[in-house]
């Protein structure tokens, strides 16, 4: 179910043969793209986009929730990897860059997360593991900014995620307006 690279609490799949691994990766890539466009896309359409048969899709992902879970976990892994990659930037820049990435992620994955939540439940191991991974990988970006005196000392990482997640629920005329509103909100996070 989860990818070979895993988030905390999610067990790894067994290694795949090279051809099976290629098909698995093609299916995940096609599913990520398709779900970003329309979370109700059919599995047949995902298999077609990946240029594999529906049987190949079902061998890797026996159910729709299995595929949704894998896509969700891979996205969270990328968020966590981004947090590690940004750690070399100055503290405020690293935090802001990651939060912009997070808002982009949440904005495009809301329907996917809702569908996955319906099948697994909000308190599932997958959601708990992903949340723990995000907090352990990206939380230090806020702590570092606070230690440098550039972020409010009274803000928790949970506070910050709630602040920026609220922005993803709004409708904007374009991405530029969303970025502007996010920057305005983040300005309130700056230490004074």
Residue 13's pLDDT band (boundaries 50, 70, 90)? Answer: low
Reply yes or no on whether the pLDDT at 94 is more than 80: yes
Residue 11's pLDDT band (boundaries 50, 70, 90)? Answer: very low
DSSP state of 12: P
- Coil, helix or strand at residue 17: coil
Least confident of 52-66, 79-93, 96-110, 144-158: 96-110
- CA dist 128 and 136 (Å) reads 12
- CA dist 175 and 181 (Å) reads 10
% of the chain exceeding 90 in pLDDT:
55
Let me know if residue 192 belongs to a domain. Answer: no
Let me know if residue 7 belongs to a domain. Answer: no
Give the count of domains, the chain: 1
Let me know if residue 51 belongs to a domain. Answer: no
Let me know if residue 24 belongs to a domain. Answer: no
What are the φ/ψ torsions at residue 156 (nearest 5 degrees)? -100, 165
Reply yes or no on whether the pLDDT at 6 is more than 60: no
Residue 171's pLDDT band (boundaries 50, 70, 90)? Answer: confident
pLDDT of residue 18: 84
Let me know if residue 23 belongs to a domain. Answer: no
pLDDT top residue among 127 and 149: 149
- CA dist 73 and 67 (Å) reads 10
Question: CATH no. for residue 86?
Answer: 1.10.357.10
Average pLDDT over residues 141-168: 94
Let me know if residue 181 belongs to a domain. Answer: yes
Per-residue pLDDT tens digits for 118-142: 776 667 788 889 899 999 999 999 9
Per-residue pLDDT tens digits for 32-90: 888 888 878 899 999 999 999 999 999 999 999 899 889 888 989 999 999 999 999 99
Q: Which of 70-74, 108-112, 140-144, 175-179 has the highest mean pLDDT?
A: 140-144
pLDDT top residue among 100 and 111: 100
Let me know if residue 151 belongs to a domain. Answer: yes
Let me know if residue 146 belongs to a domain. Answer: yes
Q: Which domain holds residue 175?
A: 64-187
């Amino acid at each position: 179910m989860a990818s070979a690279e895993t988030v905390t609490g999610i067990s790894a799949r067994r290694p795949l043969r090279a051809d099976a691994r290629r098909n698995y990766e093609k299916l995940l890539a096609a599913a990520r793209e398709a779900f970003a466009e329309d979370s109700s896309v059919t599995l047949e359409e995902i298999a077609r986009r990946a240029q594999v048969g529906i049987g190949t899709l079902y061998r890797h992902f026996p159910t729709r929730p299995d595929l949704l879970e894998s896509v969700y976990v891979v996205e969270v892994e990328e968020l966590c990897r981004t947090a590690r990659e940004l750690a070399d930037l100055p503290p405020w820049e690293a935090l802001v860059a990651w939060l912009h990435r997070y808002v982009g992620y949440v904005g495009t994955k809301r329907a996917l997360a809702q569908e996955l939540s319906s099948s697994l439940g909000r308190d599932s191991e997958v959601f708990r593991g992903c949340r723990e991974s995000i907090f352990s990988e990206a939380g230090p970006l806020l702590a570092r900014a606070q230690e440098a005196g550039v972020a409010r000392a009274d803000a928790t990482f949970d506070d910050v995620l709630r602040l920026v997640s609220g922005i993803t629920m709004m409708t904007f005329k374009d991405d530029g307006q969303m970025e502007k509103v996010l920057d305005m909100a983040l300005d309130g996070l700056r230490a004074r």
